[in-house]
C-alpha cells in the first residue's frame, strides 16, 4: 500500500527529445557571443566600441535566436527549452539597448558575460540531459 501511495505522489514531466541541431546552434551562438564580449573588452574606449560598430553581431544573434525559438516551439513538450531561449533572447535585446547608451566598461563586460554564460550553460545542460536521459 505504501508503494502505491509513493508512486502516485510522483509525477513525470514530459519533455521533448534531444535536438542535435539546437545543440549545435546554441554552441555556435555561444562562441559568437564569447567573441563579441572578448572584442568589447579590448575596445572599451576605442572608436569601434559603439553599438553601430557591432550591428552585425546584434543582427546575427537576433536571427539565430529567432531560428532557435521557431524550432524549439515546433517540438512537443519543449516548454523548458522554449522558456530558457526566451530569456536568452530577452538578454540580447537588453544588451543591445544598453549598448546603444554607450560603450561598455570592462566591469560591465565581465558582469554581462557571466550572465550570458550562465544562460548558455543552462540551455546546454538541459539539451545534454535529454541526450543522456538524465
Asked if the model's pLDDT at residue 2 lies above 70, the reply is no
**pLDDT category of residue 13 using cuts at 50, 70 and 90:** low
Q: What are the pLDDT digits (tens) for 54-77?
A: 999 999 999 999 999 999 999 999
Asked if the model's pLDDT at residue 41 lies above 90, the reply is no
Q: What are the pLDDT digits (tens) for 43-59?
A: 666 778 899 999 999 99
Q: How far apart are CA 44 and CA 24, in angstroms?
A: 30
User: What is the structure's pLDDT at 15?
Assistant: 83
Asked if the model's pLDDT at residue 7 lies above 70, the reply is no
Residue 72 near residue 22 (C-beta atoms within 8 A): yes
Residue 113 near residue 86 (C-beta atoms within 8 A): no
Q: What are the pLDDT digits (tens) for 81-123?
A: 999 999 999 999 999 999 999 999 999 999 999 999 999 999 9
DSSP 43: T
Q: How far apart are CA 32 and CA 68, in angstroms?
A: 15
Instruction: Report CA dihedral (87, 121, 59, 22) to the nearest 10 degrees.
Output: -100
Of 8, 7, 32, 1, give the one whose Cα is nearest residue 120. 32
Q: How far apart are CA 100 and CA 50, in angstroms?
A: 7
Stated pTM of the model: 0.86
3-class SS string, 70-100? HHHHHCCCCHHHHHHHHHHHHHHHHHHHHHH
Among 17-21, 26-30, 89-93, the range scoring the smallest mean pLDDT is: 17-21
Q: How far apart are CA 134 and CA 131, in angstroms?
A: 8
Q: How far apart are CA 65 and CA 85, in angstroms?
A: 7
Amino acid at each position: 500500500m505504501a508503494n502505491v501511495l509513493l508512486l502516485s505522489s510522483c509525477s513525470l514531466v514530459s519533455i521533448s527529445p534531444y535536438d542535435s541541431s539546437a545543440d549545435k546552434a546554441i554552441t555556435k551562438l555561444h562562441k559568437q557571443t564569447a567573441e563579441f564580449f572578448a572584442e568589447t573588452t579590448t575596445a572599451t574606449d576605442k572608436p569601434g566600441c559603439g553599438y553601430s560598430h557591432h550591428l552585425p553581431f546584434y543582427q546575427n544573434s537576433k536571427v539565430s535566436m529567432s531560428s532557435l525559438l521557431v524550432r524549439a516551439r515546433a517540438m512537443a513538450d519543449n516548454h523548458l527549452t522554449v522558456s530558457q531561449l526566451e530569456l536568452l533572447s530577452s538578454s540580447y535585446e537588453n544588451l543591445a539597448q544598453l549598448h546603444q547608451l554607450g560603450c561598455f566598461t570592462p566591469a560591465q563586460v565581465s558582469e554581462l558575460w557571466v550572465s550570458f554564460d550562465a544562460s548558455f550553460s543552462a540551455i546546454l545542460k538541459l539539451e545534454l540531459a535529454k541526450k543522456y536521459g538524465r
